[in-house]
Amino acid sequence: MIANMHDIMVVAYLTALLILTIYGIHRYWMVMLYYRHGRKNLTSPEKFTQLPTITVQLPLFNERYVSQRVIEAACRLDYPADKLQIQVLDDSTDDSAAIAETVCRKMRAAGHDVEYIHRSNRQGYKAGALENGLKTCKGEFIAIFDADFVPERDMLMQAIHHFTAPEVGCVQTRWEHVNRRQSLLTLCQAIFLDGHFMIEHTARNRGGRFINFNGTGGIWRKTAITDAGGWQHDTLTEDMDLSYRAQLRQWKIVFLRDVVSPAELPPEITSFKQQQHRWTKGSAQTAIKILPGLMLSRLPWRVKIEAFFHLTSGVVYPSAVILALLVFPTFCFGGPSLLSPSSPLLWTLMMGLFTVMTFSAATFYIVAQKELGENWVRLLPLVPLLMAIGMGISLANALAVIGGLFSRTSGEFLRTPKYGIAASDHKNHWKGRATSFRHRGSLVAYLEVIFGLYLVACMVLAVVLDRAILCLPFLFIFATGYFYVGFLSLYSQWLSKRGGSPPTDSGTTLPLATDIIPAIQ
């Protein structure tokens, strides 16, 4: 009986490890594809003899701290005033609606074409707001910026001429981060996103694979949106969904690696998890919706295979949870079985897969930093922390994957709180604003702490029993990740419950989760 249980445990562990290894090998492939195609310069586009009209859409929902900033930044864009329309698509239910409307009136008085559209319901959430804005937009092209973005003045001029190619339906720019070095948490988030944009987006786009519009920091051809079926809200990632539908209709997306759109990163862990949960669940929903038709299409297999890995990447999170639960008992306990941990073949196989999986993430992110011109050697000590945070959010994201695969509706679109952080604001200015946000997910945070305690118990047993000692470094990283994410989530939720009315900037500031880790200067 014990042997059979151990065999089941080992099979489950090996399955999870094999999945993680396959997706780890895919990361190596992304790096290889980047070096093969990514360094090619895009062909300089032809120039419009007469610039087309652009509508800039700014979707807002209860954004009291950033609505003025993004509206004013949109009005500063370097583009002919008679060719630029700005739509503020505001679904707000709090006092931020009055703030946004006041700023719009001020900008109109200054000569800008600014349209304020307020909906009394959130039907379709962001996708619904964008679709509603199309009814009155004047532009042939639609630029979209989320509330936390501060677009560069020349962004439109750098991107618009790529649409002289009639097959281009969308142009996506690379995200940059105004608070990149605010803390270890924001620095790790920046590294995660740098890998996605610098390696994945560049490799896929230059290598002839499908990529996704990232929901903001880009421009769409209006006819491409319409031809692809418009904005739809049956997934939480309406941007990825539209991207794939458009590319299936043979529209091309151009990724401009050297054109950046700055934005703020979530400064505390709960907002980061909320963002990751929405992206992960939405990707699973999009996979269910898009993959069957895509795999049956006449697209080249290299495109189909890459789309499969792209849309199903969330499967790594349930696999990571299984790995964390089973890594110690699989190696420590066992009976007289072919799959006993005393088997050299099993040990060699497991450790080989584990090594491939572990170093794939390190290679992926280090290459991205190197290509961005960062001092990647100084970032090497962060690799264990990147692994820890990735493991720490795995439980919440595993639940997101399950919800995305089996839920019949898209679910509520929980927007990521924005604090209005400036590039020079590393610690003090924004902290009091945290109490105005309400965070969810206390149960998951408690489970994350319990997972951390379980892994600590496994470490103690490994030392006491003198078995599976090689697991200790990984158990330590896993436990650190769950404790880090779990305790900071609970702290952030406790802090948000203390808030009443939003404090003023000059009011008393309370410590946030990021104060527990030092700022990166």
**pLDDT of amino acid 434:** 52
- pLDDT for residue 504 is more than 70: no
The answer to whether residue 5 is domain-embedded is no
- pLDDT for residue 364 is more than 80: yes
- Tell me the residue type at 360: S
- pLDDT for residue 415 is more than 60: yes
SS3 320: helix
Mean residue pLDDT across the chain: 86
The answer to whether residue 72 is domain-embedded is yes
Residue range 150-184, pLDDT digits in tens: 999 999 999 999 999 999 999 999 999 999 988 89
95 noted as active-site residue = no
Residue 247 is part of which domain span? 50-271
Nearest of 283, 252, 307 to residue 26 by alpha carbon: 307
Which residue intervals of 135-268 are DSSP H helices?
155-159, 184-194, 202-206, 222-227, 238-248
Residue range 256-286, pLDDT digits in tens: 999 999 999 998 898 899 999 999 999 999 9
- Pull the structure tokens for residue 266: 């979530």
- The reported pTM is 0.89
- pLDDT for residue 370 is more than 90: yes
Residue range 5-58, pLDDT digits in tens: 777 887 888 899 889 999 999 999 999 999 999 777 777 789 999 999 999 999
Please tell me the least confidently modeled range out of 41-50, 230-239, 292-301: 41-50
The answer to whether residue 71 is domain-embedded is yes
The answer to whether residue 110 is domain-embedded is yes
- Tell me the residue type at 86: I
- pLDDT for residue 356 is more than 90: no
Which residues, listed in sequence order, are joined to residue 209 by a DSSP beta bridge? none
- pLDDT for residue 421 is more than 90: no
Per 3-state DSSP, the chain is made up of helix, strand and coil in percentages (nearest 5) of 60, 10, 35
The answer to whether residue 182 is domain-embedded is yes
Separation of alpha carbons 109 and 118, rounded Å: 19
The answer to whether residue 59 is domain-embedded is yes
**pLDDT of amino acid 45:** 87
- pLDDT for residue 194 is more than 70: yes
Nearest of 307, 311, 308, 169 to residue 250 by alpha carbon: 169
- List the catalytic residue out of 113, 148, 239, 241: 239
- List the catalytic residue out of 91, 113, 146, 148: 91
- Total domains in the fold of the chain: 1
Residue 120 to residues 87, 90, 99, 320, Cα–Cα distance (Å): 16, 9, 16, 42
The answer to whether residue 424 is domain-embedded is no
Q: Greater confidence, 374 or 213? A: 213
Separation of alpha carbons 518 and 140, rounded Å: 47
Listing from the earlier edge strand, what are the strands of the sheet with 54-60? Answer: 114-118, 84-90, 54-60, 141-144, 218-221, 168-177, 252-263
The answer to whether residue 101 is domain-embedded is yes
Q: What is the CATH number of the domain that holds 121?
A: 3.90.550.10
Confidence band, pLDDT 50/70/90 cuts, at residue 520: very low
Rg of the chain over all Cα atoms, to the nearest angstrom: 24
